[in-house]
Structures are given as C-alpha cells and as structure tokens.
Structure 1
C-alpha cells in the first residue's frame, strides 16, 4: 500500500487556487480503493500505487478542463513493502513519540 502526497498548482490563474483544487478533488472524493485526506497544501492519498497514479492523471486533466494552460504537479510517494503503513498509523507513531 502506498501513501502519496500530491499538490497541483495552475500557473497564471491568480492567487486563489481553491477552484482548481476542488476540480481535482472531485475526481477522487468517492473513489473506491483510495483513501484521501485534504490538507491545506497537499492532498494525501492511500491505496494501490497504480490506482493512485491513474487517479492523479485524471485529477490533472480535471484541472486542465477548467481552462488552465499549465499545471505544476508535485508528487511524493511513500511505498513501503515491509509492513502495512496507513496515514493514521504514521500519525499515531509520531503522536506517541510526542507524548513520551
């Protein structure tokens, strides 16, 4: 299972990007097999890496369909194979260490 952070920035569209974020989020909001967590600067996805990569491509197309001519996409992938690691487990691990 992979955990992927994604950020898409439409260039030349002014300082507010919420319209474009919403277009991308609509692609994955109810996508079976992919868990998502919207954050202030990145969206984090959890699931099968191939499915996530396909979803990211569709998200990027959704942003282009709003009339954008250029999109910068940043992708960070944590693909751990030695054990199952979820978004919640990663947060819980750090929070437990903070409580020590």
Structure 2
C-alpha cells in the first residue's frame, strides 16, 4: 500500500503557528478513513494512490481557502510493488534492527 509524506506550509498568514493547519489536514485524512502518523515536520498517510492524491489536493486547497497568500506543499510517495508496506511495518522494522 503506498505511503504519502505531506508537508504544507502556508505563507502570508497572520500566525506563525501551524497547529490549526495540521488539525484541518488530519480532519481530511480521517474523513477519508486513512491511517496516518503526524511527525514533527510532516504527516505520513497510508492508502490507495488515487485517494492519497485526492487527499493531498484537498489539504493543499484548504490552505488557500483559509486565506494563505501562498502555499508550498511538499509530497513524497513510497509505492512499492514487490512487498506490502504499511506505516506500522516500516516503523516496526526499524525498531527490530
């Protein structure tokens, strides 16, 4: 199952805090029933590739609609076909080593 790492940076807002932006992004992810993990600098989401792109677009557009003057969205996709990857599996493999 593909993993999406997404980080959205709204520019030109009246706040230096990102917590409200993260809460909005997590709400979109949860509404779509996807598994996720928030990290200090990004959010990792697990799901069908089409759903991941749809969710990323909604998260990005929410920032524009929330009056950001500019939005910089960084995305990284890990889509492995020879093995099933999940958030839990990836984290547990590192802990085992």
Do they superpose with TM above 0.5? yes
**Counterparts of 1:50 and 1:86, CA distance in 2:** 16
Cα deviation code 1:53-92 (max 9, x no counterpart): 0110011111112111211000011100001111111111
Tell me the residue number matched to 2:43. Answer: 43
Structure index of larger Rg: 1
**Counterparts of 1:5 and 1:73, CA distance in 2:** 10
Structure number with greater CO (CA < 8 Å, separation at least 6) is 2
Q: Is the 8 A contact 1:24 1:63 kept in 2?
A: no
Where in structure 2 are there 5+ consecutive unaligned residues? none
Tell me the residue number matched to 1:93. Answer: 93
| TM-score, length of structure 2 as denominator length | 0.90
| TM-score, length of structure 1 as denominator length | 0.87
Where in structure 1 are there 5+ consecutive unaligned residues? none
**Counterparts of 1:68 and 1:15, CA distance in 2:** 12
Cα deviation code 1:4-63 (max 9, x no counterpart): 11000001224212122222222112312x211122211100011111001100111111
| RMSD of aligned Cα (Å) | 1.2
Count of matched residue pairs: 96
